[in-house]
Structure formats: C-alpha cells, structure tokens
Amino acid sequence: MSDAKPVPPTYYNSCYQHGVDEKRRVQIPAKWRPADAGTELTMMVWPKHNAGTCLRVLPPAQMAQLMADIDARPKGDEKKIYLKRFIGSESVQVTLDKAGRICLPDEMARKAELKDEVVLVGLLDRFEIWNPARYEKVKAADAVLAHEAFKFME
C-alpha cells in the first residue's frame, strides 16, 4: 500500500495579465501549474465567442472529457467529425518549462491576436488566453448574462 497522498485537483480561478516575451512565452500562475512537471496540457484555438477567438487550455482530464463528449454524439451527426478535425488540427500539446511558462505557437497566437500582453482567465476546470481588448468585450457581455446564469445556482 502506498503512503502517497492523492493530488488535489487544480482549480483555475481569477484573471491574470501577463506579458508575452520575444519567444511568445507566457508565465502560468503558480497555483495553475500541474503538480507533475511533465503533465501535457492541450492548447486549442477556441472560436466560440462573439468577441473573437481565444486559446483554451485543458488539463488531461478535461481533454479526455471533451473527447468523450464528442464521441457520445450520434454516429450520423456530421458535426462529430467536424469537431474532431477542427480540434485535432487546431490544438497542440504543451508542457511548462522550468520557469513555469508555455509557448504560444505562432499561428495560434495570430488567430487569437495575442501579441505583447495576454489575459489568462480561469474557467475553474480549464483556462483561456485572451487578447486584453477582446477580453474586455467578453467581460462586459458576461456581466450582462451573469444575473440570468446565477438563477441556476442555489
């Protein structure tokens, strides 16, 4: 029997604004870093918001859940293969370097308009990387919808 304590889950909360260095590396908050230094995160282009594209970063468990959700779609659903093709071609596996940074691939950074500054936005079980001006639009839209959304909470 092992005496190893279970690793508590990582919760991605709060927002952080960070600079992007000349090699397109961005610092990940210490509390968001995986306990296992070799853990691969999945970074993908996420074109789902009216304010524009961002990059979404998922830990392994959330990537597995995303795959399960896509696979659970009916066999004849044409969106199933589209989602797999899009996510498969618009994502990369990333690991943090020794300084706690990840590199933003050039093409992905271009699509999300990420340049000198980014905003890291916690989504509790994953996080997003936004262009600061785009995120201000998202934040304003979220504020309008928050009252309705919170009606579902006890």
pLDDT of 1 above 70: no
Res. 8: pLDDT tops 80: no
Q: Mean pLDDT for the chain?
A: 92
**Domain membership of residue 93 as a residue range:** 15-152
pLDDT of 85 over the 80 cut: yes
More confident residue, 75 or 20: 20
CATH of the domain at 104: 3.40.1550.20
- The residues with which 94 forms a beta bridge, in sequence order, are 41
Does 100 or 151 have the greater pLDDT score? 100
Residue 9: predicted pLDDT: 81
d(CA 42, CA 91): 7
Residue 4 covered by a domain: no
Segment 26-46 shows an average pLDDT of 94
CA distance 148 to 71: 30
Evaluate whether residue 8 is within a structural domain. Answer: no
For the chain, what is the domain count? 1
Classify residue 117 as exposed, middle or buried by CB count within 10 Å of its CB (0-12, 13-18, 19+).
Answer: middle
Whether residue 7 lies inside any domain: the answer is no
